[in-house]
Chain A
Amino acid sequence: GAVVSQHPSWVICKSGTSVKIECRSLDFQATTMFWYRQFPKQSLMLMATSNEGSKATYEQGVEKDKFLINHASLTLSTLTVTSAHPEDSSFYICSAPSKVVTQYFGPGTRLTVL
C-alpha cells in the first residue's frame, strides 16, 4: 500500500547548524504534504502545509524563516530547520493526503539539538 518515508529517522546536531528532513511519498503523488511537530507526551501540532510548486502555508506561531519548506516534486517535500537551537529538539512527522485513508503518516524524525 501507499507509504510515506522520512529521512533521517533521527539526527543529532550542534546548536546553530541547519538540519534538512525529507518526506517522500513512495508509490503515490502528493501535491500537498503536511508537517507536524510533537513534543514528548504531547499531541501532534500542525506546523505547515507544503504545496508542490508554490509556497508553503504556515500555522500561526510557526516562523517561516526558521522552518523552510520546499516541495520540489510530486513525491518530495523537505523541511529545513535553520540555525537549530535546543528548543527545536522535537519529533517531526510529515503526512500526505490519500483518497483511501485521508492521510498517510511518515515514521517521524527525532531531532536533538545540543
Chain B
Amino acid sequence: SQQGEEDPQALSIQEGENATMNCSYKTSINNLQWYRQNSGRGLVHLILIRSNEREKHSGRLRVTLDTSKKSSSLLITASRAADTASYFCAMPSGNTPLVFGKGTRLSVIA
C-alpha cells in the first residue's frame, strides 16, 4: 500500500463549523479510506470511496475523490467536540498492510 499525505497537519475549529482535510497520493488506486484515531486509541474506519466514485456521504461526513489530481478530501459538517481526533487516509492494495502518513490533528473547541 502507498502512503498518503494529509493536509493540514493540524486544524482547530469551533464547534458547529465545518472541517475539511485533504489527502494526496502518488500512484493510481483502487479505493481510498479515511480513518479516525482518538487520542490513545486504535483506528476506526470511517468511509471508503472507490476509484470510480467521485463523492460519498456518510452522516456528517462527505468524501470526494479526484483521481486526476490524485487527491481526496474529507469534510466533517457541523463539527462536535467529539470529532476531536487525528484523521488518516489510506489506500489499500490487496492484503498488504496499510501505510499511514502523519494525519491531520483536528481540534474542535466547544
Contact = CB atoms under 8 A, between A and B. Distances in A.
Contacts of A105: 35, 42-45
A93 B95 contact: no
A43 B102 CA distance: 5
Q: Which of A34, A102, A104 has the most B CB atoms < 10 Å from its CB? A: A102
B42 A107 contact: yes
Contacts of B33: 101-102
Interface residues of A, number: 23
Nearest to B48: A101
A101 B90 CA distance: 11
Given A101-B33, A103-B92, A93 B43 contact: yes
Q: Is the interface of B mostly helix, strand, loop or mixed?
A: loop
- B: interface residue count bin: 20 to 34
For chain A, what secondary structure do more than half of its interface residues adopt (helix, strand, loop), or is it mixed?
A: strand
Interface of B: 33, 35, 40-45, 48, 88, 90, 92, 95, 97-103, 105
Interface of A: 4, 6, 32, 34, 41-44, 46, 49, 91, 93, 95, 97, 101-108, 110
A95 B98 contact: yes
A29 to B, nearest CB: 13
Nearest to A91: B40
A26 B37 CA distance: 21
27 contacts: A4-B42, A34-B97, A42-B102, A43-B88, A43-B100, A43-B101, A43-B102, A44-B43, A44-B100, A46-B97, A46-B99, A49-B97, A91-B40, A93-B43, A95-B43, A95-B98, A101-B33, A102-B33, A102-B90, A102-B98, A103-B92, A105-B35, A105-B43, A105-B45, A107-B41, A108-B40, A110-B40
